[in-house]
């Protein structure tokens, strides 16, 4: 639904709100002062739905997905696998919507997304062996730093 409504409701204000949330999530991870969130299945489902909707609305789901997955205290390989599986499911739902609404613009960027896909595949093949060498706490802090950087980049783009 967020992807469907993006062209109508997406705004710099929503992007700034997402950026702020990413900065808070990343900072709390860096400082190891995580925000206590309810852990019941119902709250997790609600949180996943809300983050997916908001990410689709703003057009940046990867950062909010990573921030949400940090709350589960997963090992690096588990976190990457879960994020990847989630991304594939989300993309299967939203890409047809984007193709219907912005097909021409997307067709004009085929070389770019093909190159990005090749780069992501190579990065995955090279990165997976490295994940087992990084201690969980360092990995989570690194992800926190990246969330803060992404948050500031989104905030700069919004203003």
Q: What is the pLDDT of residues 8-40, one digit of tens each?
A: 666 787 788 888 888 998 999 999 887 666 778
Q: Which two tokens stand for residue 45?
A: 């489902």
Cβ neighbours of residue 1 closer than 8 Å, sequence gap 6 or more: 53, 56
How much of the chain exceeds pLDDT 90, in percent? 19
Q: In this model, does residue 4 exceed pLDDT 70?
A: no
Q: In this model, does residue 112 exceed pLDDT 90?
A: yes
- Looking at residue 156, its pLDDT comes to 92
This prediction's pTM: 0.76
DSSP 8-class letter at 40:
S
Would you say 81 and 59 are in contact if contact means Cβ atoms under 8 Å apart? no
Q: What is the pLDDT of residues 89-101, one digit of tens each?
A: 877 877 888 788 8
- Looking at residue 31, its pLDDT comes to 92
Give the residue among 98, 73, 97, 68 at the shortest CA–CA distance from 83: 68
Q: In this model, does residue 132 exceed pLDDT 70?
A: yes
Would you say 99 and 58 are in contact if contact means Cβ atoms under 8 Å apart? no
């Amino acid at each position: 639904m967020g992807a469907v409504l993006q062209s109508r409701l997406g705004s710099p204000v929503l992007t700034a709100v997402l950026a702020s949330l990413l900065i808070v999530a990343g900072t709390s991870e860096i400082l190891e002062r995580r925000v206590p969130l309810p852990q019941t299945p119902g709250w997790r489902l609600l949180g996943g739905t809300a983050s997916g909707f908001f990410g689709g609305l703003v057009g940046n789901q990867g950062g909010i997905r990573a921030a949400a997955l940090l709350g589960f205290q997963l090992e690096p390989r588990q976190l990457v696998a879960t994020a990847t599986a989630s991304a594939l499911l989300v993309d299967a739902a939203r890409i047809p919507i984007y193709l219907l609404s912005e097909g021409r613009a997307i067709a004009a960027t085929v070389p770019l997304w093909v190159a990005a896909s090749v780069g992501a595949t190579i990065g995955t093949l090279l990165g997976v062996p490295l994940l087992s060498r990084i201690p969980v706490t360092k990995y989570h802090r690194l992800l926190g730093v990246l969330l803060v950087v992404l948050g500031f980049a989104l905030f700069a783009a919004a203003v």
